[in-house]
Amino acid sequence: MYRIDDEQRRARIGRRHLLAPSAHTRSVVAVADAVVALHATDAATVYLSACARLIDPQVEAVERALYEDVALVRLLSMRNTLFTVSVAVAPSVDASNARTVATKERSKLLKHLREDGNGLDERWLADAERQTLGTLTARGRATGSELSAAVPALRTKITVFPGTRQEAVQGVASRVIRVLAADGRIRRDRPRGSWTSSQFRWTAAEPWPASDPAEARAEVARRWLHAYGPATEADLKWWTGWGVRETRAALAAVGAEEVLLDNGAVGRAAPGDLDAEPSPEPWAALLSGLDPSAMGWADRGFQLPAGHRAALFDRAGNIGPTVWWNGGIVGGWAQRGNGELVWRLLSDVGRDVSQLVEAEAARLSAWVGAARITPRFRTPLERELTA
């Protein structure tokens, strides 16, 4: 069996994830496509991940792609997580993941409505959605609060988990809006406030055309293999949230080739993608929490020393801001309240590397400017650095 070692896997990250300076691009869309999808749970992550890979990092470039050109869109998709993808990739992600998520979200909301016991049902939900869409179409865009003020149905309160210790009275506005977004009938528009804000406005949208889920899964697998391969079947299953059957079928449809990894596991590579890739020039990077280069695999052993995990992950398994050197995670960083960027190297990488990290920190500070970044998922090292 052909072998691809850890050094080669790290070299591919530098080139294919556009992290080495020679691989940087001027296109925000090219960044998203290079890593298949940008994590978008934390509003700032999309900007931090994109600008880390741009020749000329600018908030305005990302905003233009998201809100003017609408060349990037957010989808609730893999692992029921919010991602940002290009419009070229969106139909495949929609059919392979987002449709399933949307169905589950609608079923969950209808279950809560029925359990409330006040006669709220599918007809009530359809009417609430129709009113919400009508309001958005008339206004052009609105926040959730503005929609609630304009649509009486969205001010309805329901009791969730009745008769249990989790029983609570909640409004339905955010749930109805979430279902509409999952269905692709509305999308996030510019937020109120700065680019780090999660208080999005909403605008009407058209659902993506229906396509065959199996073909869509094969296309997503093909793109993922190019960006993250070689990697294991378990890695793809975890990243997508698919079942074993769907994962294996997608890999078979692509014609993925088996390779041997350094840890002894059998990995998969895209067809014909076995040749050694030249290592890029030495590079350092400061990547955001949940950056795709740290979230592409279930097993990150080839890039993350086991001893670093406790400092860089929160209790739920979310990775925080990281410092990289030649495809490996060597430390973490944070921004203090006064705007100062601070970092700590957890690996002994030498003085020259520290100077490259310092240069990257200066580059990051230059485009972030007066913005303040607090990760949504805070890790032990990030908290310590900002204390």
Q: Could you count the other beta carbons within 10 Å of the beta carbon of residue 246?
A: 19
pLDDT at residue 350, as a whole number: 82
Mean pLDDT value across the chain: 96
Q: Could you tell me if residue 162 is inside a domain?
A: yes
Q: Could you tell me if residue 239 is inside a domain?
A: no
Determine the average pLDDT of the residues in 220-249: 98
pLDDT at residue 38, as a whole number: 98
Cα distance between residue 29 and residue 81, in whole Å: 20
Q: Could you tell me if residue 99 is inside a domain?
A: yes
Whether the pLDDT of residue 386 is over 90: the answer is: yes
Cα distance between residue 271 and residue 52, in whole Å: 29
The residue among 204, 235, 262 that closes a domain is 204
The residue among 155, 182, 204 that closes a domain is 204
Question: Could you list the residue range(s) of the whole structural domain that residue 140 is in?
Answer: 95-204
CATH (domain of 156): 1.10.10
pLDDT in tens, 9-22: 999 999 999 999 99
Report residue 349's pLDDT band, with 50, 70 and 90 as the boundaries.
confident
Are 253 and 214 a contacting pair, CB within 8 Å?
Answer: yes
Do 298 and 199 belong to one domain?
no
pLDDT at residue 1, as a whole number: 85
Q: Could you tell me if residue 243 is inside a domain?
A: no
Whether the pLDDT of residue 351 is over 90: the answer is: no
Q: Could you tell me if residue 53 is inside a domain?
A: no
Determine the average pLDDT of the residues in 34-41: 97
pLDDT at residue 43, as a whole number: 94
The residue among 186, 204, 222 that closes a domain is 204
Three-class SS state of 83: strand
Q: Could you count the other beta carbons within 10 Å of the beta carbon of residue 164?
A: 8
CA angle 311, 48, 78 (to 5 degrees): 80
Report residue 219's pLDDT band, with 50, 70 and 90 as the boundaries.
very high
Percentages of the chain per state (helix, strand, coil), in multiples of 5: 45, 20, 35
Report residue 132's pLDDT band, with 50, 70 and 90 as the boundaries.
very high
Using left for φ > 0, alpha for ψ between -120 and 50, and beta otherwise, residue 241 falls in left
Task: Name residue 155's amino acid.
Answer: R
Do 289 and 200 belong to one domain?
no
Report residue 163's pLDDT band, with 50, 70 and 90 as the boundaries.
confident
Three-class SS state of 25: strand
Whether the pLDDT of residue 117 is over 90: the answer is: no
Cα distance between residue 319 and residue 73, in whole Å: 23
Question: Max alpha carbon distance in the chain (Å)?
Answer: 68
Q: Could you tell me if residue 279 is inside a domain?
A: no
Cα distance between residue 148 and residue 377, in whole Å: 28
CA angle 187, 104, 183 (to 5 degrees): 25
Count structural domains, the chain. Answer: 2
Q: Could you tell me if residue 20 is inside a domain?
A: no
Spatial CA neighbour of 94 closest among 258, 270, 215: 215
Q: Could you tell me if residue 25 is inside a domain?
A: no
Determine the average pLDDT of the residues in 314-327: 95
User: To the nearest whole percent, how much of the chain has pLDDT over 90?
Assistant: 93
pTM, full prediction: 0.95
Are 283 and 20 a contacting pair, CB within 8 Å?
Answer: yes
Are 133 and 141 a contacting pair, CB within 8 Å?
Answer: no
pLDDT in tens, 237-278: 999 999 999 999 999 999 999 999 999 999 999 999 999 989
